[in-house]
Amino acid sequence: MTTTAPAPLDISALLADGTHLIGGEWVPARTKSTIDVVNPATGAVLARVPRGTAEDIDDAVRAAEEALPAWRDTSPARRGELLYRWAELVREHDTAINELEAVEVGHPVGPSPIAARLTYLAGKADKILGHTLPTRSPDVLGMTLREPFGVVGAIIPWNAPGPMTVFNTAPAMAAGNTVVLKPAEDAPLTALYLARLALEAGIPPGVLNVVTGYGAEAGAALPSHPGIRKMSFTGSPATGSAVMTACARNLIPLQLELGGKSPQIVLPDADLTKAVPAIVRSIVMNSGQVCAAGSRLLVASSLHDQVVETLAERFRAVRVGLWHQQVDMGPLINARQEKRVLDYLAIGREEGAEVVVGGTKLTEVPYDSGYFVEPTLFDRVRPEMRIAQEEIFGPVLSVLTYEDEEEAVAIANGTRYGLTASIWTQDVSRAVRLARRVEAGQVAVNTVGDGGPTGSIGTPFGGYKNSGFGRSMGPDAVEDWTQVKAVIIDAGS
């Protein structure tokens, strides 16, 4: 592993130090307090962002309320044009966005889906349709209009700030809502930069506001603010439950995404040359800090030894390092996340699972100042073990075996989660049968997720069961941020 210094990324040229975006102005927190944003690979302070509180949230909601009437009444085609312009700027600034996200999250630089997704959402702005309603008289016309909710709020996590910002703001904006976004305290920089580009694209001041700060301070104030009409939240189940409680008190709807324990089901006829590399990538990407990470491998017992051997080789070959190096995986986001992953490694051992590869923290240079944990392969995992039930959010793959299809489905569905799943088989009938029976918001066959660069476009994303409800992206992504108004016109005399 090379230990060259990180390539310089001049964050001060991208963002004004210590400010967030309220009503088109870059302002400090009311209290003037700041939070240090730290590079998780080195511990170096990257930038300072405002430590916003309820007061800043209130300012942002007021700014969004002020911007609402004009944005709501802007023609959908014009809203779409402005979102397209935002997408174009994102494309032009692709390198800076990718590097910013890589350095604050700690993952290697890679291709970003943001501009393409934004383009997709921009195209939906002028395709929001209502219905005409059958009436009892030819003199009466009935119709439905789809109207925005008003000012909406979004709270996002640190693991993918770029995509999360776009998925949780652009659909709402396309529908004519104005937005207050609260990014995670560990990785708020990409969200701020994307908001800067939105402003530069001509999206009016106050349509997108970003308030940085801690969850208990700025975050908690957002869903309980009386001016907020709908929320989206992505993060942990515990915080999601707190946000849902606040929404219930405020009597507002919520779109919720709370992670997963996604199964990778390998059937006896699977093409292993295709499956194994994708399975490893799925758990190593972003150090496993991905809600859709394929963290449980369900392998037919006849294939077990062969699959574990091939996986072990691949796990040993995973290159771990800093974001600018040619690596597969970086550090975990912070000390708390590192402790969480190391605790689960201990729990897995205590439960009787066998560590085939990895299992410890990396401490030598260049890992000594960051939160690096080895990619870890656990074998002989049983479905009831905690490492097979709970979201670890780290580079930890649990291998479980099954005897027949019934058992595979029972294990796949045997957790509280239901976000994504993959099925690896060359038998189309089995693929169809299993895809229908697995409880997950997204089921991939012979691929993962939406299939990547050659996969499906605008794929709905969201969970079954405790993984949450509502979908970001997808054909209904924009409509989900509208409410239906029925209009009945009696034109008779």
CB of 237 to ligand NAD, least distance (A): 8
Positive or negative, the Cα torsion across 346, 348, 350, 352?
A: negative
Minimum distance between the CB of residue 305 and ligand NAD, rounded to whole angstroms?
A: 31
Residue among 205 and 237 whose Cβ is closer to ligand NAD: 237
Asked whether position 176 contacts ligand NAD by CB under 6 A, the answer is: no
Distances 466 to 116, 181, 395, 462 between C-alpha atoms, Å: 29, 24, 22, 11
Q: Give CA–CA dist 167/178, Å, rounded.
A: 14
Binds ligand NAD by CB under 6 A, chosen from 340, 349, 361, 437: 340
Please report which helix (H) or strand (E) contains residue 436, including its range: helix 428-437
Active-site annotation holds for 247:
no
| Catalytic status, residue 291 | yes
The first and second tokens of residue 262, run together, are: 């996604």
Q: Which of residues 208-227 bind ligand NAD (CB under 6 A)?
A: 214-216, 219-220
- Would you state the structure tokens that stand for residue 16, as one six-digit string? 């004004």
The active-site residue out of 99, 185, 291, 338 is: 291
Under rule CB under 6 A, residue 153 binds ligand NAD = no
Catalytic position from the list 257, 390, 391, 439:
257
Measured between alpha carbons, how far is 205 from 192 in angstroms, rounded to an integer?
Answer: 14
Candidate residues 74, 177, 234, 262; the one interacting with ligand NAD per rule CB under 6 A: 234
d(CA 161, CA 158): 6
Task: Identify the residue among 37, 125, 184, 284 touching ligand NAD (CB under 6 A).
Answer: 184
Give the burial string for 235-255 (b: 16+ CB within 10 Å, else e).
Answer: bebebbebbbebbeebebebb
Shortest separation between residue 224's beta carbon and ligand NAD, angstroms: 9
Interface with ligand NAD, residue 231, by CB under 6 A: no
Q: Which is nearer to ligand NAD, 98 or 286 (CB)?
A: 286
Rounded Cα gap, residues 481 and 174, in angstroms: 9
In angstroms, give the least distance from the CB of 463 to ligand NAD.
Answer: 9
**Stretch touching ligand NAD by CB under 6 A, among 58-66, 104-112, 117-125, 234-242:** 234-242
CB 387 within 8 A of CB 376: no
Q: Report the distance separating Cα 272 and Cα 474, nearest Å.
A: 30
In the shown chain, the binding pattern of residues 103 to 142 toward ligand NAD, with x for contact by CB under 6 A and - for none, equals: ----------------------------------------
| Residue type for position 91 | R
Least CB distance from residue 331 to ligand NAD, whole Å? 14
d(CA 351, CA 490): 70
Q: Which residue is nearest to ligand NAD (CB)?
A: 215
Q: Which is nearer to ligand NAD, 156 or 300 (CB)?
A: 156
Kindly report the backbone phi and psi dihedral angles of residue 450, in degrees, each rounded to the nearest multiple of 5, phi listed first: -90, 10
CB proximity list for 443: less than 8 A, separation 6 or greater: 420, 421, 422, 423, 434, 435
Least distance to ligand NAD, CB of residue 259, Å: 3
Inter-residue contact 421 to 440 (CB < 8 Å): yes
Using CB under 6 A as the binding rule, whether residue 259 contacts ligand NAD is answered as: yes
CA–CA separation, 292 vs 163, rounded Å? 13
What is the spatial distance between Cα 99 and Cα 453, in angstroms, rounded to a whole number? 20
For the beta sheet containing 140-148, the strands, ordered from the edge strand earlier in sequence to the opposite edge, are 132-133, 140-148, 482-490
Cβ distance to ligand NAD smaller for residue 329 or 356: 329
* Site track for ligand NAD across 284-313, x = CB under 6 A: -------x----------------------
Instruction: Give least dist CB 337 to ligand NAD, A.
Output: 6
Q: Which amino acid is at 456?
A: S
Contact between 236 and ligand NAD by CB under 6 A: the answer reads yes
| Nearest residue (CB) to ligand NAD, 267 versus 292 | 292
Residue 49 phi/psi, 5° resolution? -125, 155
- 155 in contact with ligand NAD (CB under 6 A): yes
Residue 366 binds ligand NAD (CB under 6 A) = no
Q: Which of 56, 185, 338, 480 contacts ligand NAD by CB under 6 A?
A: 185
Q: Cβ closer to ligand NAD: 131 or 336?
A: 336
Write down how long the chain is.
493
Binding-site ranges for ligand NAD (CB under 6 A): 155-159, 182, 184-185, 214-216, 219-220, 234-236, 239, 242-243, 257-259, 291, 337, 340, 391, 393
Q: Which residues belong to the active site?
A: 257, 291
